[in-house]
Chain A
Amino acid sequence: MSEHKIEMVLNGHSHRGAAEGRRTLCDYLRQDAGCTGVHVGCEHGVCGACTVRVDGQAVRSCLMLAVQADGCTVTTVEGLAAADGTLHPVQQAMQDEFALQCGFCTPGVVITLATLTDVPEKPSEAALLAAMSGHICRCTGYQGIRRAIRRLAGEATGERA
């Protein structure tokens, strides 16, 4: 079976490694790169817990091969907070609004919201909510996540009333 070299920028640092062709990106990130914030739920693209940012886009890392990330810039939830521990605005909003309970789905939710809001023109609340269809949360009933989204979209559009 073919073994492949992988080079990527992972959470701001250059990373080198190697993987078998069949290795999924989520397994690679957790087991070879030590990013255990990537949570593997269903392993077939349904739950969204393994969502990571690849070249500026939120994608499911169980639906990508590790070797496909060769040459890419990858951000996991470990790469969001500042070096001094200051939380990313999405993480802060999620914490303030009690938008998590067990925390299993949270890294994926945070990555999707951070990816969509880390742009000059922030998306609408409706667009952020629509993107949440790609995540399954079994604890919160989504209401905390909705409140966090309202804050993030609200901040984004200049504190509209």
Chain B
Amino acid sequence: MKPAPFDYVRPDTIEEACAVLAEAGGGAQVLAGGQTLMPLLALRMSQPFIMVDINRIAVLKGIVTGPEGTRIGPMTRQNEVIADAALARALPMLVTAARHVGHHQTRNRGTIGGSIALGEPAAEMPAAAVALGASVTLRSVRGSRTIKAEDMYLGPYATVLEPDELLTEISYPAWPVDSITIFREIAQRPGDFALVGLVGTVVVENGRIARAGLAWFGMGPTPIRARQAEAALLGQDIARLDGRGLAELAVADTAPFDDHHASAEYRRTVGRRIFARTLTEALNVRQAG
């Protein structure tokens, strides 16, 4: 099908975009990469009367890494995230996760901010932001606010973003350069949405776990932080990890659902398995290296 008619505007600045959003009072739709929005328009599941294309707002693009952390403009394309050498050193997990978003062709248009703002529960970028402890800055004509990524998600495609707000920055805290990436995604085909996904970063100091950030995707209505497992991991000797026990704790924080792809019980079972296996494999690689 074809999209329903709408007016199209292409602001050059954040202020202009926010002014249009404020005036539209909820009838506007922000067009970022469009890789989810365009199908929703074609299916007429989304019928805005005004489309606000933010692709030409230059300040919304770019990656800045520094000692305090990494700031990424929301309009940075997913393939730009993958190709950034400094980012690969600073937050290797984020780059690994980005490689699993959609397909090469959709990553050329799809943006990191678009994915984070959309809140698809089985998507990689929201869960990676939650696991890494990222914050997001939301702007409107009323002002600016910064919130934790994990406080952003209310349900599938439901976030705390008000209709007049625009995501203007994603800020990731610094992680040590030798942090260990945890990533595993179970999907029916490459590029499909995850049935079960686990993403995280673990820091080991003197053989013990000093810091851990872990989150699930496809395991409930939102990305879900594995808080109990994170807490249990701290201080643990990596040579004596109880993978099964930790996996049990990690799955306890999830709320998976039955759908036509898989049952909730399948998701929990696979979740336990991939948690134990991915953690052990990731830590063994480090021990061997």
Chain A: residues with CB nearer than 8 A to chain B? Answer: 1-2, 4, 20-22, 24, 27, 43-45, 48, 51, 57-60, 62-65, 67-68, 112, 116, 130-131, 133-134
Contact = CB atoms under 8 A, between A and B. Distances in A.
A43 B8 CA distance: 20
A45 B104 contact: no
A1 B5 contact: yes
Contacts of A133: 103-104, 189-191
Contacts of A43: 1-2, 42
Q: Ordered nearest first, which 9 A-B pairs have the shortest CB separation?
A: A21-B8, A134-B103, A44-B39, A131-B104, A57-B108, A63-B38, A22-B3, A1-B5, A134-B105
B214 to A, nearest CB: 26
Interface in B1-37: 1-10, 31, 34-35
A48 B5 CA distance: 24
Interface in B31-52: 31, 34-35, 38-39, 41-43, 51
Nearest to B5: A1
B7 A1 contact: yes
- For chain B, what secondary structure do more than half of its interface residues adopt (helix, strand, loop), or is it mixed? loop
A68 B55 contact: yes
Given A59-B105, A64-B38, 13 more contacts: A2-B7, A22-B8, A44-B38, A44-B43, A45-B39, A57-B108, A58-B105, A62-B42, A65-B38, A68-B53, A131-B105, A133-B104, A133-B189
Given A59-B108, A59-B109, A131 B5 contact: no
A1 B6 contact: yes
A60 B34 CA distance: 10
A87 to B, nearest CB: 22
A58 B108 contact: yes
A51 B108 CA distance: 11
Nearest to B36: A45
A51 B7 CA distance: 25
A108 to B, nearest CB: 8
A65 B39 contact: no
A7 to B, nearest CB: 14
A21 B190 CA distance: 32
Given A4-B8, A22-B3, A24-B2, A65 B53 contact: yes
A67 B4 CA distance: 15
Contacts of B280: none
Chain B: number of interface residues, binned into ranges: 20 to 34
Contacts of B9: 2
Among A43, A65, A116, chain B packs the most CB atoms within 10 A around the CB of A65
B202 to A, nearest CB: 27
Contacts of B103: 48, 131, 133-134
A68 B3 CA distance: 15
B193 to A, nearest CB: 12
Given A22-B41, A134-B103, A134-B104, A64 B2 contact: no
B51 A21 contact: yes
A26 B4 CA distance: 16
A69 B86 CA distance: 30
A22 B190 CA distance: 30
Nearest to B8: A21
Contacts of B38: 24, 44-45, 62-65
B49 to A, nearest CB: 10
B137 interface: no
B108 A22 contact: no
A27 B7 contact: no
